[in-house]
A and B are shown apart, each in its own frame.
Chain A
């Protein structure tokens, strides 16, 4: 790990001195929202406001009419690398990430091979340093091979750089194994990420409701989610573990998490940008781009997810980026791969919560930056002096139409093709280096 870190700092110390001027700087962690300048050097943020003495900017970025905020942090992001490079690679997908303003992302362990040993962690991190342009974090497998039987060496994996642990989309069937996994994780202060799904009720491809009935698709009832959440909340209470629930999909799930937080359990939760905007109705006549897990549910569920995001029960928004080759979506609905290539629409879809849910711009940015950083126990997602110079600059008023062919991700699988969205990333800086820009910089 240390060698990789040294490599990173060696690279970033060469980064140029940059001044970003005239932007609206929003840094929720430090309660900053003002029009001013920000100065970067040696890969760090060195000043906000007045130009420091002896500082000579090699690059000046005019951010007039734009928002300057910390680089976004995406807690669920599949790179498809290694092994599935037709769908995506660390190179292609981190470039898609920075085009979406994301400077750090977190990759679940259901890679091939699975991240249940330190060598795999190092491989991905090293590949990310060499080929990637965004920072890549990994979660370790909660159980060996994600089989739900034996605990992984989660402490060693933490030491190798994993920022949490999870069994990803493979629910741990045994209550006993889950209890022990939570206990063990708690002993080493490791956050357990839970994708709550009951293994017996989840053999479907769409929300069990009016649409699945109409289309004759096998349904996944809301109780598949709530039963799993309820079980795990009981075990969290028993073990004192810290847990983060991934991708809530139903009103009842929000209710359960809200109650658990009120009861004092150390739990947080996230929602995907697409669950905030789509419902089961969007499947229409079998649109496989709307095949996602957990499934898109009803309008009522969507309303509750938005409300939960606003109230803070849901702590952050993720893209759950899952690039697929076009073939993977060209089959009868149930036989298509689930998932959306979502990172490039994460920010504008989140910003829609301002007009549609009455959220404040700062609140939206908070849920994309410092909140996910806190869940990973990282001191990132801020523009504090001395912090890594990870910055996202976007035009909050720019309208653009999503064109799947223009996505930088290898996955063109987006249900938002043709949508007009507001808010466009114009420049992304990671560790002091401009890694994405829509205009030529001076």
Chain B
């Protein structure tokens, strides 16, 4: 039984952006292509385009975040939308107001889009299923499930450096188990036709049956790095040292930290990525993070362009729809 993909409307256009899963290759390529012109907006004297003028976008963050929220905010501002930031620590929702009640209150203020981050997997899907039909929902990270805009900005960064996805070997290193970024990256890479995705980590940090997502599992970083084109390091949450997932930071760095010596096993032109924030000396050596193969800061910049593309594609056509309806009426149904 394949559940209905609520991310697309009846015309097959982007309605919500919740997870990479459910999209075809062309959908992803369209987003990447749409981001290209936005990537240069910041070089203009006036950094704004008027695509979403008059739209109200709500950043609804149930989990702390600086970078993701800021780039979404910048992206919305550059599209000329009005932005409202709401940070809700989970204790506020436990005051008795349910998540959905709060949403309905916000809807009553006539917003057009919710950008949602939540510490529970499935939160963005839940919200998308229950908002009024004119509202789009963008997932800015839900639990361990999905972080699709991060994955798309990573794909954008990879494409800028590697042109073709087909023959790449991509290595994702670290805490795959708890990583929504890794899950979204895996879906995006396999959908875009990357020939080999390797995930690396100790068994304690690799979720069961991850192979079913089309990846190869390695427990030895050095073996996994051989001939790699792209190396993605994941952030290691310090609290993983509790609960017997890992013995110590030292041991982790020794086994799974990316050092210059290990990086030499990858292709000479391999790029090194990290979704940030970096734990220097835990998952990656400073000299690599700041070195010539690192594209970590580019990822941040590209994040704005990708988020502009996703927002304008999801909200853009609701705008189009209104126009095309008018045209239809004026031209007697010719459109």
Contacts and interface: CB of A to CB of B under 8 A. Distances in A.
Instruction: Check if A and B associate.
Output: yes
Contacts of A281: 1
B208 A209 contact: yes
A284 B1 contact: yes
Q: How large is the interface on B (under 10, 10 to 19, 20 to 34, 35 or more residues)?
A: 20 to 34
A208 interface: yes
A281 B130 CA distance: 22
Contacts of A212: 207-208
B118 interface: yes
B198 interface: no
A210 B21 CA distance: 14
Given A216-B146, A286-B125, A335 B210 contact: no
Interface residues of A, number: 24
Interface string A209-222: 11011111101010
B209 A334 contact: no
Interface in B199-217: 207-210, 212-213
B122 A215 contact: yes
Interface in A325-339: 327, 330-335
A210 B125 CA distance: 19
Interface string A184-223: 0000000000000000000000001110111111010100
B120 interface: yes
A216 B98 contact: no
Interface in A243-298: 281-282, 284-287
B290 to A, nearest CB: 31
Contact of A282 (B1, B98, B120, B207): B1
B208 to A, nearest CB: 5
Nearest to A221: B208
A204 to B, nearest CB: 11
A219 B178 CA distance: 12
Given A286-B125, A333-B120, A216 B99 contact: no
Given A212-B207, A330-B130, A285 B125 contact: yes
A129 B96 CA distance: 36
A24 B162 CA distance: 73
Contacts of B121: 215-217, 286, 332-334
Listed residue (A209, A212, A327, A333) with the most chain B CB atoms within 10 angstroms of its CB: A333
A216 B142 CA distance: 9
Contacts of B212: 210, 213-214
A284 B1 CA distance: 8
A331 B183 CA distance: 22
B95 to A, nearest CB: 14
A369 to B, nearest CB: 32
Given A208-B208, A333-B120, A214 B21 contact: yes
Interface in B94-117: 98-100
Contacts of A287: 3
B32 to A, nearest CB: 23
Contact of A332 (B6, B122, B209): B122
Listed residue (A209, A214, A287) with the most chain B CB atoms within 10 angstroms of its CB: A214
B263 interface: no
Contacts of B100: 330
Contact of B126 (A215, A221, A330): A330
B98 A331 contact: yes
A281 B121 CA distance: 16
Contacts of A332: 99, 118, 120-123, 126, 142-143
Contact of B209 (A213, A327, A330): A213
A71 B99 CA distance: 42
A216 B183 contact: yes
A284 B120 CA distance: 16
B144 interface: yes
B178 to A, nearest CB: 8
B118 A285 contact: no
A80 to B, nearest CB: 20
B145 interface: yes
Contact of A209 (B3, B6, B142, B209): B209
B180 interface: yes
A213 B145 contact: no
Contacts of A331: 98-99, 120, 126
Contacts of B98: 327, 330-331
Given A213-B212, A215-B122, A285 B3 contact: yes
Given A330-B98, A333-B121, 9 more contacts: A208-B208, A209-B209, A213-B209, A213-B212, A219-B208, A285-B3, A330-B126, A330-B130, A332-B143
24 contacts: A208-B208, A209-B208, A209-B209, A210-B209, A213-B208, A214-B183, A215-B145, A216-B142, A284-B1, A285-B122, A285-B125, A286-B125, A286-B126, A327-B98, A330-B98, A330-B99, A330-B126, A331-B99, A332-B99, A332-B121, A332-B123, A332-B126, A332-B142, A335-B120
The 6 A-B pairs with the shortest beta carbon distances in the complex, nearest first, are A216-B144, A332-B120, A284-B3, A286-B122, A216-B145, A213-B207
